[in-house]
Amino acid sequence: MIFKKYAARKDFKALTYPHMKLMYNMALKYCGNAYDAEDIVQETYLMAFNKFHQLRDRTKCKPWLLRILRNNFLKSYQKKKSHQKLSETDYIDFLKETLASRNAESLLVEASANKTVKDAIDRLPVKYREVLLLYYMEDMLYKEIAAALDVPIGTVMSRLTRAREGLKTLLLKQMNSESRNNLLPVDFRKKAPALNK
């Protein structure tokens, strides 16, 4: 009996630990902060270990873990009913750490653009956001995403298309509002001041 438990633990470790970084990255994308991501990954691995005997096809371990992760996130999301965002202090700490190695101006421009895209992705509905993140951030195939989310491939394709369209719309709205805010009010009725030569 003890040998079976040890063998099961060894198999579990060999099959699931290579996917831990992916699980953490996905949890971080879902949650928006490191603490909740760590909690969800821990819950996922605990649940997976307890249900390891239910995994029939060992080659489908990654989609199985992603499905458990997603279900854990949705459970916690329904309890909270609001996403937690990275706090301003976390963002400022990140900027301080990387400021020493790079030009501050280029870093701020890049961070601003990344934050704009991240905010737009975070405003997408969960079902579109998760497909977008799995496809672009984790380089998963339609088939793998379908298996991980337990939906047909056609649904993955349509959700990805809608996610792209939604992201494009949100980014265009953001760009338009920023460009309007950057314009200075000009009164064309006044004459321009004469230049002294």
Q: Render pLDDT for 41-91 as a digit per residue (tens, 0 to 9).
A: 999 999 999 888 888 888 888 889 988 998 888 888 776 654 444 455 555
Q: Render pLDDT for 57-66 as a digit per residue (tens, 0 to 9).
A: 888 888 899 8
Number of H helices and E strands in the chain, helices first, is 9, 0
How far apart, in whole angstroms, are the C-alpha atoms of residue 70 and residue 23? 10
Report all structural domains of the chain as residue ranges with CATH numbers, in order of start: 2-80 (1.10.1740.10), 123-181 (1.10.10.10)
Report the predicted TM-score, pTM, of the whole model to 2 decimal places. 0.51
Contacts with 111 (C-beta within 8 Å, 6 or more apart), sequence order = 91, 95
